[in-house]
Structure 1
């Protein structure tokens, strides 16, 4: 039993049982949901150099959006009817990124996380609910951001030690699991997920899903699990997972996780129509105005395409907020987020309409 297994009570028997699951062992979902978001790539600096990732830029080339740039993106999103501001950046930029740190210091911020906090406040001011994906966080950092985020997320990716994560600044599953646990301890509705095709095997996929389930059982905070195939890009030429592989992985996720956790497959990265019957019930955040900056070669589908996917599956398509509705109804939101929904203004009315409250 690995250290991860022991810490999360994942047994070989559980992994073996989950490995045997296939599409015939799960039922199709009765509805599909999606969120309308605007993508804000706060910085392209990242301490890691994962071999499948095109998002990060090396020191000297990484960008940092100014407050004015962020406001422009947010206002465009609000005007387009979005409800979510998706903030993302690579994991905490290390000391190599002197230009990024110098710029933050010039603007009066001690760290990228302080800047993120301020930009989340700006999003609420403009009329969008923040959902931040800032990589690995300490419990203190998570708690600080909890007050200005409707929900947050980080991809577990895998519990395996894969070559794609190798290098002098190695991403480890222990760090990712600690971040997911910290989110639970801070009471933040949280999205996570696995990557399929970065060198992991079926044992690893099963272990990863069971680890997520174990953390959710501790804190009840995981709102959604993404099953994302690695996509070919300028840095990654490894094989893309087959449809059969993806169908099996999605079915395993649906089987392993409690019913209240949604299973998402990104519609710009996966053949959604061919896996929808394996338990997919969410299509994630989709932007009508910004690119998927993590996967820039793969455009978001339009709303009509999402409606077509749902129609072909014979299920309704419902818009949601970044926070899944049950967490809104069950009192998980920070006071600042609750006030944003309850105000008497255009943005708040938009939130309540999505929730079905008006």
Structure 2
């Protein structure tokens, strides 16, 4: 099917200048797993990486009501972790050897969530981003590097928390206009792309990704990859792209994408993204071991302490399973920080993060040990 450039829903409204080259789109649509190198092969990854994290579900309030998502709670039922709860989770994670505090969110709560806003005000905050900054400072104090995923953000919101995050992220999901995002509070791909662009403008190391199986087609997948690649080429800030299958749950009863679909999508991502960007497939949500030859080089953040609060029905694999996945590919398993090695300098990280990495304490020693294990520090 022929499509013209610049058909991404919401792109014009958010002043996102991303051009999809029809020739590049057609090239990606012809890519299969046989066209990319697997681990240990010439041109393929020399290792598989992962991070140790704790999930910190700061709030389950969300302005959106995506039909595949179990994370959000409606007004009157949404939760907000207290500072004491944040500290307890982070302390437990640091004691378990983690390096990352993954702050998960629903997108910025709208006016329907009056109880959430009242609680924030009681704690001295006028927004969820103001509170996020305090939570990130707690994580740093307890010996973890924050990685926050607060959803769509304005420049002002992201700037408020950028210096206390080692990296940040938002799932693009798709550039398509899909029914799964339908409703009066529709998630706009253009707004997602604007958030990714804002991270580039602010120099924030960034993670994004695609959600496979929510109603997009192959052309949409190719365009999503090319949109991410173009923004990275402009700013150099995308450190990894997650290729994640939508998973059946209490709100989504459709069949997940097939192994063949996932393999082709991963291969397209590897072929369409710059080499420096890692391609991640979450091992608790996909048959990662069978997708390694499609271009996977990262297994994501895995927690020895907390559940995957976004996908609570799908338990994290133990570290031994990650080692077994790497062994099956004939390459080593290497731990990484939530910020990729090439971004660990003054050009990309704020003083609170650099000071934590350089500190002469147990947390600093743990961070540096991870960096030194890759020979990059």
TM-score, scaled relative to structure 1: 0.98
Q: Please say if residues 194 and 208 of structure 1, whose CA atoms lie closer than 8 Å, have aligned partners that are also in contact.
A: yes
Q: Please say if residues 4 and 174 of structure 1, whose CA atoms lie closer than 8 Å, have aligned partners that are also in contact.
A: no
Aligned residues: 358
Whether 1:232 aligns to 2:248 is: yes
Superposition pairs of residues 144-223 of structure 1, within 5 angstroms = 144-223=160-239
| Gap runs ≥5 in structure 1 | none
Measure, in 1, the Cα distance between the counterparts of 2:347 and 2:360.
20
**Aligned mate of 1:258, from 262, 274, 279:** 274
**Aligned mate of 1:143, from 150, 156, 159:** 159
2:51 aligns with 35
RMSD of aligned residue pairs (Cα, Å): 1.2
Secondary structure of the structure 2 residue equivalent to 1:246: helix
Measure, in 2, the Cα distance between the counterparts of 1:248 and 1:211.
18
Q: Please say if residues 68 and 246 of structure 2, whose CA atoms lie closer than 8 Å, have aligned partners that are also in contact.
A: yes
Whether 1:23 aligns to 2:33 is: yes
1:54 aligns with 70
Measure, in 1, the Cα distance between the counterparts of 2:328 and 2:6.
44
Mean Cα deviation higher: 328-337 or 79-88? 328-337
Whether 1:281 aligns to 2:297 is: yes
2:22 aligns with 12
Measure, in 2, the Cα distance between the counterparts of 1:258 and 1:239.
31
2:309 aligns with 293
Measure, in 2, the Cα distance between the counterparts of 1:79 and 1:218.
39
Secondary structure of the structure 2 residue equivalent to 1:168: coil
1:129-148, Cα deviation, whole Å (9 max, x unpaired): 00000000001111121110
2:42 aligns with none
1:92 aligns with 108
How far off is 1:334 after superposition?
A: 1.2
Measure, in 2, the Cα distance between the counterparts of 1:65 and 1:7.
37
Secondary structure of the structure 2 residue equivalent to 1:147: helix
Measure, in 2, the Cα distance between the counterparts of 1:331 and 1:140.
20
Mean Cα deviation higher: 156-165 or 332-341? 332-341
1:318-355, Cα deviation, whole Å (9 max, x unpaired): 00000011111584211111100111000000000000
Secondary structure of the structure 2 residue equivalent to 1:206: helix
1:349 aligns with 365
How far off is 1:200 after superposition?
A: 0.1
TM-score, scaled relative to structure 2: 0.93
Whether 1:310 aligns to 2:320 is: no
| Gap runs ≥5 in structure 2 | 9-15, 39-44
1:243 aligns with 259
Measure, in 1, the Cα distance between the counterparts of 2:182 and 2:79.
24
